[in-house]
Amino acid sequence: MTVQNHVFDVPYYQPIADECALFETAFNKGLPLLLKGPTGCGKTRFVEHMAAKLGRPIYTVACHDDLSAADLIGRYLLKGGVTEWVDGPLTRAVREGAICYLDEVIEARKDVAVVLHPLTDNRRRLIIERTGEELQAPPNFMLVASYNPGYQNVLKQMKPSTRQRFLSTTFDFPDAETEVQVVAKESGLDVERSKSLVRLAGHIRGLSSLDLEEGVSTRLLIYAASLIAGGMPVEKALQYSVVEPLSDEPDVQVALRDLIAVVYG
């Protein structure tokens, strides 16, 4: 559920606008930050980049339907016949002055928001009811959350009372020139062939006729480029990294392969 990172080698990230300055200012001012954007557009890499740049450890939590407040805060566990309290990732982040990143936060159970509220206002406190502790977040603690607005529905919406506790910025896929740089850098594929992949992605994202929840992500382009750079034929690489991940529908897959044939014909 969590990943703890104390390695401060700065992961590659290509800024799109002023998101790096926003993150650094939010960190310095002790303000929580909410990132909105489609799957695979770079939100997680951005947070990892900024955590390393600021020299702070990061706890990443992939939120899901069963994630509860206790999963974040901690619980009593039986160890060697003795009941011990074990901190959850949010509690550890507060104690250490780390960054806690809640990926797809709206997927978590509703009781999670109750826990976050005291941490996202001027109190900056984490209340642990089971132990009676009330932790004051240190200046170098930061709460970052993200979600994909495209997957929202009536049952999975962030309440205004929670949204308005965060600074917020919207992520999207980068412009073509920037995306080419990212794909080439991350995969090792040459720029010219990376351009073809980005051109294909532009066509897929622009097709409203295909029954796709989202267009191809930058992450999938990097996967495709990595396969091609490793010697796999383009058609097979795109089948495994674009066609199959985007849809299970035979008709949609045929349409995607036809589009690939046009771009690479």
**Looking at the structure, do residues 6 and 112 belong to the same domain, yes or no?**
yes
Count CA atoms within 13 Å of residue 139 on its CB side.
Answer: 5
State the average pLDDT over residues 139-157.
Answer: 80
Q: Which two tokens stand for residue 237?
A: 């690489």
- Residues sharing a CB contact under 8 Å with residue 99, sequence separation 6 or more, in sequence order: 27, 47, 50, 51, 54, 56, 57, 58, 59, 93, 141, 142, 143, 144
Tell me the CATH number at 16. Answer: 3.40.50.300
**Looking at the structure, do residues 47 and 115 belong to the same domain, yes or no?**
yes
On average, the pLDDT of the chain sits at: 91
- Residues sharing a CB contact under 8 Å with residue 179, sequence separation 6 or more, in sequence order: 173, 198, 201, 218, 221
User: Can you say whether the dihedral through the CA atoms of 215, 108, 42, 221 is positive or negative?
Assistant: negative
**Looking at the structure, do residues 14 and 66 belong to the same domain, yes or no?**
yes
**Looking at the structure, do residues 199 and 214 belong to the same domain, yes or no?**
yes
pLDDT bin (cut points 50, 70, 90) of residue 154 is: very low
Residue 151 pLDDT > 70, yes or no?
Answer: no
**Looking at the structure, do residues 156 and 227 belong to the same domain, yes or no?**
no
Residues spanned by the domain of 74: 2-170
**Looking at the structure, do residues 25 and 86 belong to the same domain, yes or no?**
yes
Contact 243, 257 (CB under 8 A): yes
Q: Where does residue 11 rank: exposed (0-12), middle (13-18), buried (19+ CB within 10 A)?
A: middle
| Last residue within a domain, chosen from 141, 170, 199 | 170
**Looking at the structure, do residues 22 and 88 belong to the same domain, yes or no?**
yes
Residue 239 pLDDT > 50, yes or no?
Answer: yes
Helical segments of 146-243, H only = 160-163, 176-187, 191-205, 218-229, 234-238
Q: Which two tokens stand for residue 34?
A: 């909410």
**Looking at the structure, do residues 120 and 162 belong to the same domain, yes or no?**
yes
**Looking at the structure, do residues 139 and 44 belong to the same domain, yes or no?**
yes
State the average pLDDT over residues 142-152.
Answer: 85
| Last residue within a domain, chosen from 138, 170, 202 | 170
Predicted local distance difference test score (pLDDT) of residue 214: 80
**Looking at the structure, do residues 195 and 151 belong to the same domain, yes or no?**
no
**Looking at the structure, do residues 74 and 136 belong to the same domain, yes or no?**
yes
**Looking at the structure, do residues 117 and 211 belong to the same domain, yes or no?**
no
Predicted local distance difference test score (pLDDT) of residue 209: 67
| Last residue within a domain, chosen from 170, 195, 216 | 170
Contact 118, 112 (CB under 8 A): no
Q: What is the largest CA-CA distance in the chain?
A: 67
pLDDT digits (tens, 9 = 90+) for 61-109: 999 999 999 999 999 998 888 899 999 999 999 999 999 999 999 999 9
- Residues sharing a CB contact under 8 Å with residue 12, sequence separation 6 or more, in sequence order: 45, 49, 182, 185, 186
- Please give the tally of structural domains in the chain: 2
pLDDT digits (tens, 9 = 90+) for 156-201: 778 888 899 999 999 999 999 999 999 999 999 999 999 999 999 9
Predicted local distance difference test score (pLDDT) of residue 128: 94
pLDDT digits (tens, 9 = 90+) for 119-130: 999 999 999 999
Predicted local distance difference test score (pLDDT) of residue 200: 96
